[in-house]
Amino acid sequence: MSASVTFSTIKTASNHLFGLAVLNNPDALNALTLQMIDLLDPQLKAWAEDDAIAGVVLSATGDKAFCAGGDVVSLHHACKRVGAGHVPPEAATFFEHEYRLDYRIHTYPKPVLCWAHGIVMGGGVGLMVGASHRVVSPNARIAMPEVHIGLYPDVGGSWFLQRMPKRMGLFMGLTGAIVNAGDALLGQLADHVIAHEHYNDVLTAIAETEWAGNELANRELLSALLNRFSTEAPLGLLEQHAETIEAIVQTDSLEEISKGLHQLAKHSDPWLARAGQSFVHGSPTSAMLAFELPKILAGASVADVLRLEYQAALGCCAHPDFSEGVRALLVDKDKSPKWNPGTLNEVSRQTIEDIVKPRFDGSHPLADLA
């Protein structure tokens, strides 16, 4: 049986090495499992401490997807085992280790090239956004679709969605809308658009480059290298519909935004209509979290964002919507979740406070993140 993440090194013209980490779970669209996380994180740590390593490439096997998200089906089964109101230890471990990995990428002391081709969703976006050099393919399909499964835009989403212009990130979080490579550039989720067929060419160029002995110079060298292969991005879907989206999300009232998104579900444009319908059929609790957490965390550091998101993720596991959402979408696949509460008006402040409260003894499991 092949490893779920493979590791190798690329020898370069300067005798430096580039680490190459490849997600290798293509049958599941490289969905991120705890095993994959626990392979990646220590290897990245080792490469960070190795003076021979000039940088790292993170990519994935297969042509369809970089990473379609976290392995939420396993978490669903664990949540069902312990019952509503409780957090299975597997969930506490998964989210702690996943967020530690994301934070390591955000703070990595060497250039990290994330080659995020095809489908990039949820936990896959979390891996991508913290890298110093983020490549998406022209056919990229990018989303934070947690509203469909009773979760919320985590893996730092409360931070990086806020950085998108004109509250486009809020629209993505509330609707789970699938956006494209142009949107990724506009929203500061990616830096370059390069056709996936040039992947091996880029690796060859890395091997042929004389890398320097310091991070700043190597970052500049890698940016110049990627510019040689970059292509024009498609017009962003968010950009095309910016006026319509901004008219809906510019208010600070989620009730008003909800009315606008309900109307959007009837729009003549199929993409806008799908976005509106996704909100209408999504978890009301997820929508409230997607709206409230960025407000709570406005101006917070990535570390502080991940600490509160960890609490919210465990709270979602204790809340019935997460198991129900995963059941309906990915287990039974009937696509008919029964959300509890069933409407946005029924989601109380106490519900949100209960979800984000600490569910651990002693210090925060992510207290050591700087």
The residues near 332 (Cβ < 8 Å, ≥ 6 apart) are: none
Q: Residue 344 gets which letter from DSSP?
A: G
User: pLDDT digits over 262-285, tens only?
Assistant: 999 999 999 999 999 999 999 999
Q: Is 123 a catalytic residue?
A: yes
User: pLDDT digits over 174-194, tens only?
Assistant: 999 999 999 999 999 999 999
Task: State how far the alpha carbon of 57 is from the alpha carbons of 83, 118, 165, 200, in Å.
Answer: 40, 17, 28, 12
Indicate which residue of 71, 96, 98, 146 is catalytic.
146
Indicate which residue of 123, 124, 282, 315 is catalytic.
123
Strands 192-193 and 133-136: parallel
Q: Is 346 a catalytic residue?
A: no
Confidence of residue 82 (pLDDT cuts 50, 70, 90): very high
Residue 1 has pLDDT above 80, yes or no: no
In angstroms, the CA 290 to CA 299 distance is 16
Q: Is 124 a catalytic residue?
A: no
Indicate which residue of 19, 69, 70, 276 is catalytic.
70
Cβ atoms 265, 281 nearer than 8 A:
no
User: pLDDT digits over 354-366, tens only?
Assistant: 999 999 999 999 9
Indicate which residue of 71, 96, 102, 154 is catalytic.
154
> What does the pLDDT average to over 50-55?
97
Q: Is 183 a catalytic residue?
A: no
Look up the pTM and report it.
0.97
- Domains observed in the chain: 5-356 (3.90.226.10)
pLDDT the model gives residue 312? 98
